[in-house]
């Protein structure tokens, strides 16, 4: 499978702490995106990082990309209960096919 994998599968933290989740993928990519999904609902785009970028910030989010290791990380700082959701990385390969990782389930305890 060319599907990416997120690590950890599940993460539980206290409100105010930082949450880090990692994504590994298998193919050459044009960009990598992170999405959030609240239970049973549609995914919401968080951030996109292009293959020639190494780091990107958006509000409390920080994403890194290491194409040599085919991995990316998403850091959420100062977490809030509303951040409780599943987080997915998504890659688009040179064949225009999209692959979503297996997801990290984040629980932020108030």
Partner 1 sequence: DSGVTQTPKHLITATGQRVTLRCSPRSGDLSVYWYQQSLDQGLQFLIQYYNGEERAKGNILERFSAQQFPDLHSELNLSSLELGDSALYFCASSSSGQNYEQYFGPGTRLTVT
| Least distance between partner 1 and beta carbon 27 (Å) | 13
Closer by beta carbon to partner 1, 8 or else 16: 8
Is there a contact between 32 and 90 (Cβ–Cβ < 8 Å)? yes
- Maximum Cα–Cα distance across the chain: 43
Closer by beta carbon to partner 1, 60 or else 100: 100
Find the distance separating the first CA and the last CA of the chain, reported in whole Å.
37
| Least distance between partner 1 and beta carbon 19 (Å) | 20
From CA 27, how far away is CA 11, in angstroms rounded? 26
The site for partner 1 (CB under 8 A) is made up of 3, 30-31, 33, 35, 40-45, 48, 50, 88, 95-103
| Least distance between partner 1 and beta carbon 12 (Å) | 20
Residues β-bridged to residue 109: 14
């Amino acid at each position: 499978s060319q599907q990416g994998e997120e690590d950890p599968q599940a993460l539980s933290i206290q409100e105010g702490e930082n949450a880090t989740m990692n994504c590994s993928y298998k193919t050459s990519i044009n960009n990598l995106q992170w999405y959030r999904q609240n239970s049973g609902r549609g995914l919401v785009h968080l951030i996109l990082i292009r293959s020639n970028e190494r780091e990107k910030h958006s509000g409390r989010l920080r994403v890194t990309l290491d194409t040599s290791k085919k991995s990316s990380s998403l850091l959420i700082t100062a977490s809030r209960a509303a951040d409780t959701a599943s987080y997915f990385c998504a890659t688009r390969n040179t064949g225009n096919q999209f692959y979503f990782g297996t997801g990290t389930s984040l629980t932020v305890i108030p």
